[in-house]
A and B are shown apart, each in its own frame.
Chain A
Amino acid sequence: MSKLSKRGAIGLTAFMLASTALSACSQEQAAAPSAKEGASSEAKGLNATGFPIVNQPVSLRFVARKNPQHGEWKDMMVLQEYEKKTGIKVEYEVYPMQNFDERKNLLFASNDLPDAFINSGISAQEQLKYGTQGTLIPLEGLIDKYGPNLKALFEKYPDAKKTVTAPDGHIYALPTIVTQAAARTQKLWMNQQWLDKAGLKAPTTTDELYQTLKKFQEINQGTDAVPFAIDMASATGNMFTNATMRGLAGIWGLPLQMGTSGGIEGGKFKLWYDSDRLKDMLVFLNKLYKEKLLDNNSFTLDIAKLNAMTKANKVGMTFNQTDVGMDTKIFKTFAYPKSSFGDPVANAGAVARDLGSFAITNKNKSPEATMRWVDYFYGDEGSIFLRFGIEGKTYSKDADGNLVYSDQIMKDSRGIQFAIGDMTIWPGAGAPHVINDKNAVAVTTPAIMEGQKKIDAIMPKTVYGAPLMEPAIAEKYSAMTEDINKFVRESVSKFIVDGVADDKWEQYKQTLQKLGIKEYEGFFQKALDSYNK
């Protein structure tokens, strides 16, 4: 095993790179001129509007991430139908979610590129890196000419456009665009059954929340149910982007702007890693941990296990965007309680979510047709097609004109998300399309809409996603992100378990300075300034 890991360290990268770099040079030269030729000859067979997109069949190779909810991509009804509709034959090279990032990086590193990446989660840094290298082509020109739906969305939601635009003015990848508010926020769900049993009303302050959890513990004495749990094992990267941590931060009024732990006030970006609000939150969590109101196994708990606990009605409170896998007769949504600082905030995701859902590479000989192919999903008609399939077959309209999935899907024993995942690509998030009030009703249940109403007032008006940093600072930014995220993750974990002693907190703040938190903050400020120019 140790031998293997050694090769894994330098050998794997070195070998992959070495063996492929040799062939890459020759491939590149061959591809460059033909791309231009292809473009001109392609334009002839391309229809500017309507279907089919191309008159002569075109074949493309897409690399895709297979979410756990997905069936086999090649058997998905929606993709097969779309192929007939567009005349574009797409061969999907699919990698499972667990090792998709590794695969993606190796494809880029070895220059073994497909025509496009789909459902691919190409990070901001990767977009910039591969975009400026020329591996990913700029899309803004194509959007102007061949992407009417995207163009309209970007005009309506300029912050979405800002989020996906690189500092050099190019757009290298497309996000999922979420215009529905309920799809962007974490709702606070509490176990109504337990509340009734304890004879309590919903907590309105964090002190009341503590009392509620305490009662939850009492009424469940002797069972393995817990008042509250955090899926810390899933809180990788910036731990506050995790659903539960995001919700908790919201209670203490800690905003999440620009994809990180910071807020914007009067054009100034400020990180809150060293704020008193965070300290207060950690003191609170430590109290929960010590009294076992917070599951003491939280640090090895992942999202799948937490969902299983919720499903089994073994947890008293949880943050979740949807009610999937939850019994809504037991779990009800509530307004966020207030901390001693007042003003809670419902940390919403940016309108441009899941950056890097779709990107076109320089190997693609029909970028125009590819843009038309994906743009359809950003319109009403196309997004309904992507999410629901075919009317009469996989969905129908009810009396109010709402879209409902067929009985066969709704009654699938594996759960609706898996049934949908057999026919199309959106379950599990990350597919390039628009999620709006028209096409998301079937998944945004009345319970979710009700929860959204309770937090609508505390939702920030503008939410920026993670910015694309300038190439000059990109590498430093990415190294600092890694170090700071790691340090904060470990420190926060320790504070929750061991308590927040004043000298430890000072030490933590000093180390943050040492890690260059001010400079790091400046990177975001710079990106923000460029938005407001």
Chain B
Amino acid sequence: MNPSRSLARSLVKHWEFYALLALPLAWYVIFQYIPMYGVQIAFKDFNPVKGINGSPWVGLKYFQEFFQAYYFSRLIINTLLLSLYNIVFGFPIPILLALLINEIKGTAVKKVLQNITYVPHFLSVVVVAGMAYTFLHQDTGIVNLLLKTLGMEPVAFMQSPGWFRTVFVSTGVWQEAGWAAIIYLAALSGIDPSLYEAAKIDGASRLRRIWHISIPGIAPTIIILFILRIGHVMDIGFEKTLLMQNSLNAESSDIIQTFIYATGIQQARYSFTGAIGLFNSLINFALLIVANRIARWKSDTSLW
């Protein structure tokens, strides 16, 4: 049968489904694909008066400028290190938290714990950064007061490059771990209870049951979420970084996004920052593909 005719026939027959599909499709096209047209400013000397089409092409000029910039290596290293720490600490903790909550027997305790851990997710990052400043204040912050009573030297947490990543990642874990655990909890509740019962009868300890039933049960979820996370490696919480940044910790807190903000939005150098943004996205894209390949190669789960 002619494929185009069969498509037409299926369109007529199932038009309700296609009508339903049309809206999300239109959303993707209008808000995700059409704007990509603007990516070309990275290769042009963008001038608002001439418009995107009228601006002259300059090839890779802005990419070169970025690669040769004084701060290039620092930006890349900071961005990669911060995202690495974010993944190393930020990714497994929600899994552990979900396993922990899952093991709790009393429903009341379980609910309370779950609520307490996910409520911080709803706080604005501005509030979280403000809390970090208040609690870690060198003279009046509760953490330093505690250190002082223990006879230790107070630490300038917010003003030292060495502490920036620790503070950034730990506040991130505090804020997001409970929320991220929800999806694992959902996956855990999907595991057949009879598996646990059988293991119990066979005399498996609690840790054994977690290791041999819970973790394999949610492994596909973990892998998919990990791949998705890899796709955003270079996108660290920009707002929080900016809020926590100052001239003393800039050595480790200056990342690609804050650089883009300072140069692109504040200095209106759109083409230059367009190039940096595109470079950033390309790295994300490449990492996503690599992670997916590895996942497909090592296990049966992958995005595509």
Contacts and interface: CB of A to CB of B under 8 A. Distances in A.
Interface in A1-29: 1-3, 5-6, 8-11, 13-15, 17-19, 21, 24-25, 28
Given A17-B270, A18-B35, A109-B268, A297 B138 contact: yes
Interface string B19-56: 00000000000010011111101100011111111100
Interface centre among A18, A475, A486, A487 (most CB of B within 10 A): A18
B235 A489 contact: no
A297 B257 contact: no
A3 B54 CA distance: 30
Interface string B255-281: 001001111111111101110111011
4 smallest CB-CB distances across A and B, nearest first, come from: A14-B38, A10-B277, A18-B38, A5-B238
Contacts of B156: 296
A300 B47 contact: no
A204 to B, nearest CB: 31
Contact of A9 (B41, B250, B280): B280
A497 interface: yes
Given A18-B37, A299-B247, A486-B71, A13 B49 contact: no
A13 B270 contact: yes
A443 B53 CA distance: 51
Contacts of B262: 482
Interface string B181-215: 00000000000000000000000000000000000
Given A224-B140, A297-B139, A299-B248, A6 B48 contact: no
B268 A126 contact: yes
7 contacts: A5-B239, A10-B274, A25-B51, A109-B48, A296-B156, A299-B247, A493-B248
Interface of B: 31, 34-39, 41-42, 46-54, 65, 69-71, 125, 133, 137-140, 156, 158-159, 232, 235-240, 246-248, 250-251, 257, 260-270, 272-274, 276-278, 280-281, 284
A487 B251 CA distance: 10
Interface centre among A14, A483, A497 (most CB of B within 10 A): A14
A2 B281 contact: no
Interface centre among B51, B138, B232, B261 (most CB of A within 10 A): B51
Contact of A18 (B34, B48, B54): B34
Contacts of A515: 70
Nearest to A292: B139
A15 B139 CA distance: 45
Nearest to A481: B267
Contact of B263 (A232, A482, A514): A482
A18 B31 CA distance: 11
Given A109-B268, A232-B246, A497-B248, A296 B138 contact: yes
User: Interface residue tally of chain A, by bracket?
Assistant: 35 or more
A14 B39 contact: yes
Contacts of A19: 34-35
B247 to A, nearest CB: 4
A300 B158 contact: yes
Interface centre among A15, A28, A224 (most CB of B within 10 A): A15
Contacts of A102: 265-266
A111 interface: yes
B168 to A, nearest CB: 13
Contacts of A308: none
A18 B30 CA distance: 11
Contacts of A239: 247
A205 interface: no
A232 B159 CA distance: 11
A340 B230 CA distance: 57
A14 B36 contact: yes
A408 to B, nearest CB: 36
